[in-house]
Structure 1
Amino acid sequence: MNAELDCYRALVGFLSEVLGDDTEIILHDVTDLEHSVVAISKTNLSGRKLGAPVTNLMLKMLKEGRSKNKSYITNYEGVAKDGTVLRSSTFFIRNTQDDIIGMLCINSDYRKMERVIAYLSQFVGVQRPIEKKKEKPPAVEHLSPSIEDLAKESIKEIVGGVNIPPERMSQEERIEIIEKLNENGIFLLKGIVSIVAQELCTSEASIYRYLSKVKKVQES
């Protein structure tokens, strides 16, 4: 673990005790994306453990450089492996050169609170006002416990939009998938190519070839 993050370990336990059993606190070391989780609270909502990888949303932000002018992002949607929807927020930890070296993430389960509010509204006979439908963020954070799960979730999300099974895809369709995965930062992870190849029913050599084509187009 990056030594500069060591002082944040105690903050994980502190915030966990303050915020209670419905909130998970996680410390990430982004200098090791494949094993970024270096501290996690006793309350575990996402199913991740020490050594789990960074999330899909964080990869995309790091790839696009969207985190450069931000100190934190708050109240976005996170989805645990079991499908539980969480309210998530992330604080970016920077070194003296202003490079992001870590992230302190807070994931909260508000289902109990929603049930209490619904019960009290019914009990006192108050009809809750109709809330305006909020626009969803462009990406949902998948809180994956492993690199394999992260890759599968990312591919599933993209392939779902194409609506063609991987085994029936043409070369052009696979290249399109690779381009979107690259934009999402998935290839920042080491050892990801073999997993992507398996999920897209093709060879690692083909994935490297497609990725090379994508990068050439982006650079031209």
Structure 2
Amino acid sequence: MNFELTKYIPVIDFLAEVLGEHTEIVLQEIYQEEAGYVSSVVYIKHNISGRKIGAPGTDFVAKIIKSQEFKTKDYIVNYTGRSAQGHLLRSSSMFLKDTDDNLIGMLCINIDDSQLVKMSSLFNMGLQMLEGYLVDNQKNIQDNARVHVQENMYLSPDTSLEDAIYEFTGNKNIILSQMSKKKKKAIVSHLYDNGFFELKDSISKTATIFSMSEVSIYKYLQEIKEEK
């Protein structure tokens, strides 16, 4: 093996650990003799292609050498490969070069996607089964869009009261501190009816929003309870 290729072995071991057993990683050595280029497998992890050390390079290697594509690219990714057993693989190759930019090897990653293909097939079957259900329930979905919302999701406790007030007034630009007592009391009544004052710190937060004292909010609540 070309000594310059040995530095890639720890990288291959690392990738093999990260990518798992369904991913084969191969180091191929390439060098030129008078009769032409020689290519062979010199290191392999997670063998799923059926090759062994010393196995010849692929026809892809031959095409790369003929086209000299390695001179303008550093790698090619996600092309289709085929194992010796006929399994289709998703393959990618990195071109390894010496200091003179000569091709000395290729680091190849071959991924067996057959399990994903099976899962995709099952998923598509599930979608077909759901299609009829979704069509049958389209009317219900449209009806639900007109149903009164009974639960609102808030991003934080600090915004829950503000959102509830704006929902009631229908105007986010309104200046609450300048509203009349009657309107403020109507909002407090709305909050009371919806249980907001059962929540922690709701009195103080409401007072802050209205720029009023907590005592004033308590008075509003007392009046509202008496009226009810």
TM bucket normalised to smaller: 0.5 to 0.7
For residue 60 of structure 2, what is the aligned residue in structure 1?
57
- How many angstroms does 1:94 deviate by? 1.2
For residue 96 of structure 1, what is the aligned residue in structure 2?
99
Unaligned runs of 5+ in 2: 132-228
Q: Which has the higher contact order (CA 8 A, sep 6+)?
A: 1
Q: Which amino acid aligns with 2:99?
A: T
The 8 Å contact of residues 78 and 91 in structure 2, kept in 1 or not, is answered as yes
- How many angstroms does 1:58 deviate by? 0.9
Return the alpha-carbon distance in structure 1 between the equivalents of residues 67 and 39 of structure 2.
21
Q: Which amino acid aligns with 1:16?
A: A
1:1-220, aligned counterparts within 5 Å?
1-31=1-31, 34=38, 36-41=40-45, 43-124=46-127, 125=129
For residue 154 of structure 2, what is the aligned residue in structure 1?
none
- How many angstroms does 1:96 deviate by? 1.1
Task: Give structure 1 regions of 4+ aligned residues with deviation exceeding 4 angstroms.
Answer: 32-35
The 8 Å contact of residues 23 and 48 in structure 2, kept in 1 or not, is answered as yes
The 8 Å contact of residues 39 and 57 in structure 2, kept in 1 or not, is answered as yes
The 8 Å contact of residues 88 and 112 in structure 2, kept in 1 or not, is answered as yes
Deviation sequence 1:43-82 (CA, Å, 0-9, x none): 2111111111111111122022122101001111111111
Q: Which amino acid aligns with 1:7?
A: K
Q: Which amino acid aligns with 1:118?
A: S
What secondary structure is seen at the aligned counterpart in 2 of 1:123? helix
Unaligned runs of 5+ in 1: 128-220
Return the alpha-carbon distance in structure 1 between the equivalents of residues 23 and 8 of structure 2.
17
The 8 Å contact of residues 31 and 39 in structure 2, kept in 1 or not, is answered as no
Query: TM-score under structure 1 normalisation?
Result: 0.53
Return the alpha-carbon distance in structure 2 between the equivalents of residues 106 and 4 of structure 1.
19
Q: Which amino acid aligns with 1:38?
A: V
Return the alpha-carbon distance in structure 1 between the equivalents of residues 49 and 86 of structure 2.
9
Return the alpha-carbon distance in structure 2 between the equivalents of residues 123 and 14 of structure 1.
37
Return the alpha-carbon distance in structure 1 between the equivalents of residues 8 and 118 of structure 2.
33
Return the alpha-carbon distance in structure 1 between the equivalents of residues 41 and 96 of structure 2.
14
Return the alpha-carbon distance in structure 2 between the equivalents of residues 114 and 75 of structure 1.
16
The 8 Å contact of residues 31 and 38 in structure 2, kept in 1 or not, is answered as no
- How many angstroms does 1:95 deviate by? 1.2
Query: TM-score under structure 2 normalisation?
Result: 0.52
Return the alpha-carbon distance in structure 2 between the equivalents of residues 31 and 57 of structure 1.
15
Residues paired across the two proteins, number = 126
More helix by share: 2
What secondary structure is seen at the aligned counterpart in 2 of 1:30? strand
